[in-house]
Amino acid sequence: MNGLLHDVHYALRQLRKNPTFAAVAVTVLALGIGANTAIFSVIEAVMLRALPYADVKRLVLIQDAQDPENAGFLLKDIDALRSQTRSFSDIAFYYRDSGFSSVTLTHGVEPESVQGAFVSSNLFSVMGVAPALGRVFSSDEETRREHVVILSHRLWARQFGSTPNAVGQYLKINGEPFQIIGVMPRTFQFPERDQQFWAPVTTNRLWGDPSLNTR
């Protein structure tokens, strides 16, 4: 113990003699700790923490092998997969995250740019996640292109103060009114962490474009 105290006192005397070196050493140490913390946070979130979906081991993300980060599938390819494959119990899809789902949302006075997800009606059953409040939209509502929307827990808290009365109210997405029918749990963050709402895939402003890719 005495030896440790002696080493600490010696180190402090050396640092006082060279304050510039001390500042650099402390900065490097802080950066190193911060980098390690950031890396651990990513590993903990992606690899150690269980994903908040039911039967997560049975979920498969289908991607284009040639360009898994950016490419998607045409709607006709999704239909072909659904009709021909026997390996999956169900296949859900969403518009790829390439700006198609970046929208202007208006509720109240100030509009804001948010990231939303336009998804197939079976997405929530495939993921095995139920809304925390209200309900999800049906396949009939998707077919009829009904303007209904499910909020993220974060958007619900920010824009509506976490009141259950938010269900049934309206907000505007790219100037079009959408009725709020549900709120997802705080942990639901699919396909990206910053998704603020989920609406029927058929209500996307580019629905019907034959070149539009989905995931």
For residue 173, give every residue at least 6 positions away whose Cβ sits within 8 Å of its Cβ, in sequence order, or none.
Answer: 103, 104, 105, 116, 149, 197, 199
Alpha helices in 44-74 (DSSP H): none
Compute the average pLDDT of residues 134-163: 95
pTM attached to this predicted model? 0.67
Say what the pLDDT of residue 194 is. 84
For residue 25, give every residue at least 6 positions away whose Cβ sits within 8 Å of its Cβ, in sequence order, or none.
Answer: 15
Q: Which of 153, 185, 179, 152 minimizes the C-alpha distance to 167?
A: 179
Please, which pLDDT band fits residue 42 given cuts at 50, 70 and 90? Answer: very low
Say what the pLDDT of residue 183 is. 98
d(CA 46, CA 29): 26
Please, which pLDDT band fits residue 48 given cuts at 50, 70 and 90? Answer: very low
Identity of the residue numbered 91: I
Residues 85-99: tens digit of each pLDDT: 666 666 777 776 545
Compute the average pLDDT of residues 159-175: 95
d(CA 138, CA 161): 27
Identity of the residue numbered 122: N
Provide the token pair at 70.
């950016």
Other CB atoms closer than 10 Å to residue 74's CB: what's the count? Answer: 13
